[in-house]
Amino acid sequence: MRMSVIGCGYLGAVHAAAMASIGHDVVGIDVDERKIAALASGAAPFFEPRLPELLAEGLGSGRLRFSSQMADAEGAQVHFVAVGTPQVAGGHAADLRFVEAAVDGLRPHLRPGDVVAGKSTVPVGTAARLAARVIDTGATLVWNPEFLREGWAVHDTLAPDRLVVGAEQDADGGRAVAVLRDAYAQAIDAGTPFLVTDLATAELVKGAANAFLATKISFINAMAEIAEASGADVALLADALGYDTRIGRRYLGAGIGFGGGCLPKDIRSFAARADELGRGEAVGFLREVDAINLRRRERAVRLVVDALGGLVFGRRIAVLGAAFKPFSDDIRDSPALDVAVRLRGLGADVVVTDPAAIDNASAAHPQLGYARDRDEALRDADAIVVVTEWDEYRRDLSPEHAGALVRGRVVVDGRSCLDAAAWRAAGWQYHGLGRR
């Protein structure tokens, strides 16, 4: 099937490459010429496991192309819209300018029967408005929200937990759904549930899924606050809760909380849209979820300050991690970098290391010190703070090895990812959020 993917960021570039890998003929389009030049030369403009291989394969086969010209979308049967929907400056709502510009830019190139499939995360009601904008072209707009996890994006695109397509319940909507069913035939044949909904429900599924995940993370972090005040241990609590199959252990890792280009802005825009709909009360708890999340960053900083005797000025602190999560170089709203910036703000001599995100981090926060090599970051540190649970820190760093490099054996585990007993046994002062 011929497809276009408008917007080639974390979502769109992976979607384009993944669709080409299963045999579709795909053109990825973006207004960012540099990104397009990189992608066209086979270089992934961001870190995502398996993406470089998929790009090489797609470009080599001729099934995958990249362009900065919207006209190159012409002739595609499906046009996926994967542009950004960031938080508006000075507010909590989503900035829909990019989605609107993408759909308007696409309009002159649409033919009757084409399907425009929105993948960006949008507030409920957006799709119906955009559908009206393309109707006179004879194309049909559907909403096909994306649930991929950065770091697992290729896997999640090729083998998603479920596919959701929202469409108008008329003949054109039915035809458009059938086209998407064909586009995703491989995943559907492999057993992926394919759910057909109206436009509003499809938009809401995405917002609700992110609201739920954020709530689960903030729930355990709220328990960490209680554990800290009562002398309990949140990691043991999470294990015990997690055995309850109604609850489950995933997303119950207490720590410095969520970040990235999705959860924080998505829960805010969800609440902002609920306000517009006159139902703000229904999701009022999301403001608390956000507040709990942001408090954890400050708590991590406090643990470091207290561990160093109340003053970090001039002390060397190794910050292990910059990306908002492992297997990604994404630093958008990264709790890890936020902790580093706050420590720097208190006068600490901060050295940040990360296997993938140093370039992005140093461009955004040039005031911080950086070391590409983990051991270089550890050398002569008065304290270390683990803020992104990369294998390099969680699994591969032994307390003995780290102990030989640092000046002070103080570790703050911002992700509950270290073996506290092993670090203590090696002579470290171990501090974890919500840990005894």
Sole binder of ligand NAD in the list 3, 17, 27, 29 (CB under 6 A): 29
Which residues, numbered 65-104, are part of the site for ligand NAD (CB under 6 A)? 82-85, 98, 101-102
Walk across the sheet containing 316-320 and list its strands: 369-370, 349-353, 316-320, 383-386, 410-413, 429-432
Query: What phi, psi does 186 have (nearest 5°)?
Result: -60, -45
20, 76, 262, 433: the active-site residue: 262
146 touches ligand NAD by CB under 6 A: yes
User: Nearer Cβ to ligand NAD, position 150 or 338?
Assistant: 150
* Beta carbon nearer to ligand NAD, 33 or 244: 33
Residue 352 DSSP class: E
Nearest-approach distance from CB 330 to ligand NAD, in angstroms: 7
Clarify whether 417 is annotated catalytic: no
For 175-216, strand residue ranges (E) read: 194-197
CB nearer to ligand NAD: give 21 or 126: 126
Q: What is the 3-state secondary structure of 83-130?
A: CCCCECCCCCCECCHHHHHHHHHHHHHCCCCCEEEECCCCCCCHHHHH
d(CA 302, CA 432): 11
* Closer CB to ligand NAD, 17 or 235, in the complex: 17
Q: What x/- string results for residues 109 through 128 when contact with ligand NAD is judged by CB under 6 A?
A: -----------xx-------
Which of positions 243-272 make contact with ligand NAD (CB under 6 A)? Answer: 261-262
Contact 430, 413 (CB under 8 A): yes
The Cα-based distances of 403 to 19, 131, 378, 394 in angstroms read 47, 60, 9, 15
Q: Tell me if 32 contacts ligand NAD by CB under 6 A.
A: yes
Is residue 105 involved in binding ligand NAD (CB under 6 A)? yes
Check residue 27 for interaction with ligand NAD (CB under 6 A): no
Strand, helix or coil at 295?
helix
Residue 11 binds ligand NAD (CB under 6 A): yes
Q: How far apart are CA 12 and CA 313, in angstroms?
A: 43
Query: Helix, strand, or coil here: 230?
Result: helix
- Report if residue 12 touches ligand NAD, rule: CB under 6 A: yes
Find the part of the chain contacting ligand NAD (CB under 6 A) among 8-16, 159-167, 376-384, 396-404: 8-16
Shortest Å, Cβ 32 to ligand NAD = 4
Q: Binding string, 365-404, against ligand NAD, x = CB under 6 A? A: ----------------------------------------
**How many residues of this chain interact with ligand NAD, rule: CB under 6 A?**
27
CA-closest candidate to residue 147, choices 6, 45, 266: 266
* Tokens representing residue 370 in the block: 């950086």
Phi, psi for 208 (deg, rounded to 5): -70, -40
Residue with tokens 């972090």: 221
Stretch that binds ligand NAD, among 9-17, 161-169, 250-258, 420-428 (CB under 6 A): 9-17
Which range binds ligand NAD by CB under 6 A, 3-11, 223-231, 311-319, 379-387? 3-11
Q: Which residue is nearest to ligand NAD (CB)?
A: 9
Cα–Cα distance, 175 to 292 (Å, whole number): 45
Question: Closer CB to ligand NAD, residue 329 or residue 349?
Answer: 329
| C-alpha radius of gyration, the chain, whole number | 23
Which H or E element spans position 322? none
User: Interface residues with ligand NAD (CB under 6 A)?
Assistant: 6-12, 29-32, 35, 82-85, 98, 101-102, 105, 120-121, 146, 148, 150, 261-262
Catalytic positions, written as ranges: 262
